[in-house]
Structure 1
Amino acid sequence: MESTPKILLIYTGGTIGMVRDYPSGTLRAFDFKNLLQQIPELRQLECDIHSVAFANPLDSSNMDLQHWRQLARLIAEHYGRFDGFVVLHGSDTMSYTASALSFMLEDLAKPVILTGSQLPIGDLRTDAKENLITTIQLAALQDKDGPVIREVCLYFEYKLYRGNRTLKVNTEHFEAFASPNYPELAVSGVHLNVHRDRLWKSQRKGGLKVHTELENRIGVLKLFPGMHPDWVCPVLENQQLRGLVLETFGAGNAPTAAWLLEALEAAVKRGMHIVNVTQCAGGSVLMGRYETSSGLRDIPLIDGRDITTEAALAKLMYLLGAGVAPRSFKTIFETSLRGELTEN
C-alpha cells in the first residue's frame, strides 16, 4: 500500500494568511496550527499536512534575497521528509519569488507550488480557500514514479502555471496572474486536469542542489520615446552594475540613436551583461528582424526571447552569483535551464 503524501505548508505572509475580525473589521493572523479545524474540507484530501511559518510574516512587497534564501533553505531542510511544498505568499511579488526559487532549486524532483489570494481567507467571497485546497491537492499528486509535478509552480484562480513564466496582470480581479508565453500546466474545474506533456522534465539525475549565492547588483531599464541621455548614460556607465534587463519595444526594438547604441556597446565591452526583453506581456524578442534591433544584435546583447522580466532578473542574479565565466555567460543565459525560455 502506498504511503500517504506528506505536504509542508510554508507561510511567508500575505492576504491568504489573514482572517477578518468582523466586529472590529480588523485583520488578524490565521492560525495554521489548527488548519484542519478551520478548513475541514482539507480532510477530504488524501495527504498529511504540516505547516511552518516565517517568524515575522511579511507583506510581499518587502520580499528580499534573504527571504528567498530562507525559503530555499527551509525546503532543503525538509526535502527528505515531505513529498511536496506549498508556499503561501503575497501576490505582489509572487512571480519574482517563483522565478528565483526555480533557479535556486536545481534538480528539483518534488513540487514547490506558490499560491495566495486577493481576499483574506475568512471573507465571504474569498478566493483563498479554493487556491489553498487545490494547491495542496496538486502538490500531493503521485503516480508510480513519485510526484507528478517536479518544478516550481504558481497556482491562482483555477490554473497552475510554471512559476518562472508568470506575471501579475491585475490588482482587482481574482484572475491576477497570467502566463502569456507558456500554457497552463493544470486547470481546476469539475475535474482536475493536469497537462502532463507540459510539465518540466529535468534532464539531469541526482539530488536537490540549493543555490543561495545571488548577485543583486543588477537593474531594469525600460525604454520610452524621448528618453534623455543625461539619465540613461549614467546607468549604463555605472561601474558597480553587473547586469541589466533592457525592456525594449515590440520584438526587441530600440531607438537607433548613436548615443544609445554607443553607450550600450561600451557597457557590454566593459563586462555588463545586458538582456534584451520585450515590454509586451506576450511574444518574443526577434533581434535582427527589424532595422531597429539589428544594432542591438550586433553589440551583441543577450537575446531574452520570450522570458519575462521577473525571470530575467532572477536568472541574472543566479548566474552572476554562480560565477559563470563571461565568455560563456551569453550562451548559458540563452539556454533554457528551468523551462523559462522557449527553445528555438
Structure 2
Amino acid sequence: MDRKKILLLSTGGTIASVVSEDGLVPKQSGEDLIQLLGDMPYEIDVKDILQLDSSNIQPEEWQIIAENIYKYRNDYDGIVLSHGTDTMAYTASMLSFMIQDLNLPVVLTGSQVPINVMWSDAPDNLRLAFAAASRCKPGVYLAFNRKVMLGCRSVKVRTINFNAFESVNVPPIATVTSDGLVFNKNLSYIPRSNLACKLNTKINTNVSLVKLFPGFDTKLLFALADSGCKGIVIEAYGLGGMTNIRRNMVAAVGDLIKQGIPVIASSQCLYERSDLTKYEVGRRALLEGAISARDMTSESAITKLMWGIGQGMDIRQITKFFDTNIVGEVTLD
C-alpha cells in the first residue's frame, strides 16, 4: 500500500519553542519537529510559513495560512498545521470559513510543553494529527490529547493541563483507545458537498466580542459603534437573556440594529445552546432583531461574523448566514 503524502505547515507556538532570557520563544523548524518524532508511516514534506507565538497570530496570518493550504491542497492527501494553543481554536474556525468545500483533511495541533522537553505532549499530538490527516474526511480539524475535534467546535478550556481542548456541543470526530483511532459513526452534523474548493480570505475585523455582566453600561456598545464597529457578538446570560431594566441592553441592541450593526446573542455557558425564545428577557432581544448563535462557540461566532461582514452582507443576509450550518459550526434543530 502506498504511504499517504502529508504536508506539515509550521507556524511556531509552544510546540516549537525553546527557553530564552525572555521566556519561551518559537525557534524550532518543522523539520526539527519531525526529526524528534522518529520514523513515521507517511511521506512527509515540511514548509515553515510562520514562526510566531499564537498570541501574535492575527487576521494577516490567517490569510497566509489559508493561502498555503489552498495552494497545496491538490498535492497531498492531508495537511497538518502546527500552531500555538492560545489562538488555535480561532484559527481553526476562521479557516473553516475561509476555505470551504475542502478536498482534503487539514488538522491543527500543538502542545502545552515544547517538543524538546522530556514530558512534552507534542510527540503524541503530532502523531495523532498525522494519523487524522491521513484518515479523516475533508475538513478542518483540531487534534489534541487523543481526541480529534471539528475545528469550528473546538475550544481551549485549560491553560496547563494536557487535556487543553474540548469539542463543544458535539462529540469528537475520533478518539484514541486501545483499539487505535476510533471514529464517531454519527457525523451527520457536518455538511458535505461535491463543490469545488473555494478560497475567500476577505474578512472585516471591525467587530467585537462582549461579555455581559451585571452593571454593564450600554453606552460602551454605542462607543464601539461610534469607533467603527460593524458587528457585535454578545455573550449573554444563560439561554441568551439580556438586561431590560435600568441599563437596558435590549433597547441598546435594537438601536444598534437600526444603525445596521448586526448583534449576535450567544451564551456565556460553554455547553448547550442559547435560545432567545424561552424567557421574556430573550424574546425582547429577539424582537429587537438580535441573532441567536444557538450552540456555536464564541470563537466560531466571531470568526463567522468577521467573514460574513467581509463579504459585504447586510443584517438580513447575516441573519440568514447565521441560520445556515456552513461547516458543522451550529445545530439548527
Q: What is the aligned counterpart of 2:319 among 330, 334, 340?
A: 330
- Deviation string for 1:177-215 (max 9, x for gaps)? 112311111001222101143276544323210111011
Q: Percent identity?
A: 33
Match of 1:301 in 2: 290
TM-score normalised by structure 2 residue count: 0.93
1:18 maps to: 17
1:239-250 correspondence to structure 2 within 5 Å: 240-250=228-238
State whether residues 26 and 53 of structure 2, in contact with CA within 8 Å, keep that contact through their aligned partners in structure 1. no
Aligned counterpart, 2:45: 50
Q: Is the 1:150–1:200 contact (alpha carbons within 8 Å) kept by the matching residues of 2?
A: no
Per the alignment, in what secondary structure is the counterpart of residue 57 of structure 1? Answer: strand
Secondary structure of 1:131's counterpart equals: helix
- Where in structure 2 are the equivalents of 1:113-262 lying within 5 Å? 113-141=107-135, 148-190=136-178, 191-198=180-187, 201-235=190-224, 237-238=225-226, 240-257=228-245, 259-262=248-251
Question: Which segments of 5 or more consecutive residues in structure 1 lack a partner in the other structure?
Answer: 142-147
Kept in 2, the 8 Å contact 1:156–1:175? The answer is yes
Deviations, residues 90-133 of structure 1 (Å, cap 9, x unaligned): 00000000000000111112111100000010111110000001
- Per-residue CA deviation, residues 130-156 of structure 1 (Å, 9 max, x unaligned), is 000111011112xxxxxx421101111
Q: Name the SS of the counterpart of 1:267 in structure 2.
A: helix
The Cα shift of 1:230 comes to 4.0
Alignment partner of 1:30 is 2:28? yes
Do the aligned partners of residues 322 and 123 (structure 1) sit closer, same or farther apart at CA in structure 2, a change above 3 Å counting? same
Question: Could you tell me which residue of structure 1 aligns to residue 69 of structure 2?
Answer: 75
Q: SS of the residue aligned with 1:114?
A: strand
- Are 1:96 and 2:90 matched, yes or no? yes
What TM-score, normalized by structure 1, do the two folds share?
Answer: 0.90
* Contact 1:107–1:202 (8 Å) recurs in 2: no
Q: CA deviation at 1:304?
A: 0.6
2:198 and 2:19 mapped to 1: Cα distance? 40
Deviation string 1:253-290 (CA, Å, 9 cap, x unpaired) is 11112642222111101110110000011111111201
Q: Aligned partners of 2:300, 2:66: CA distance in 1, in Å?
A: 17
1:164 to partner: Cα distance: 0.6
**Corresponding residue pairs, total:** 329
Query: Structure 2: how far apart are the matches of 1:35 and 1:303?
Result: 42
| Deviation sequence 1:271-313 (CA, Å, 0-9, x none) | 1011000001111111120111111111111111001110001
Residues 68-88 of structure 1: per-residue CA shift (max 9 Å, x gap): 000011011111111101010
**Counterpart contact for 1:19–1:30, Cα < 8 Å:** yes
The answer to whether the 8 Å contact 1:98/1:114 transfers is yes
Q: CA deviation at 1:239?
A: 6.2
Q: CA RMSD in A?
A: 2.0
Contact 2:231–2:262 (CA under 8 A) maintained in structure 1 = yes
Choose which of 80, 85, 93 in structure 2 pairs with 1:86: 80
User: Which residue of the partner structure matches residue 282 of structure 1?
Assistant: 271
Deviation at 1:28, TM superposition (A): 6.9
Stretches of structure 2 that go unaligned for 5 or more consecutive residues are none
* Between 9-18 and 28-37, the greater mean CA deviation after superposition: 28-37
What CA distance in whole angstroms lies between the structure 2 residues aligned with 1:123 and 1:241? 43
| Distance in 2, Cα, partners of 1:149 & 1:256 | 46
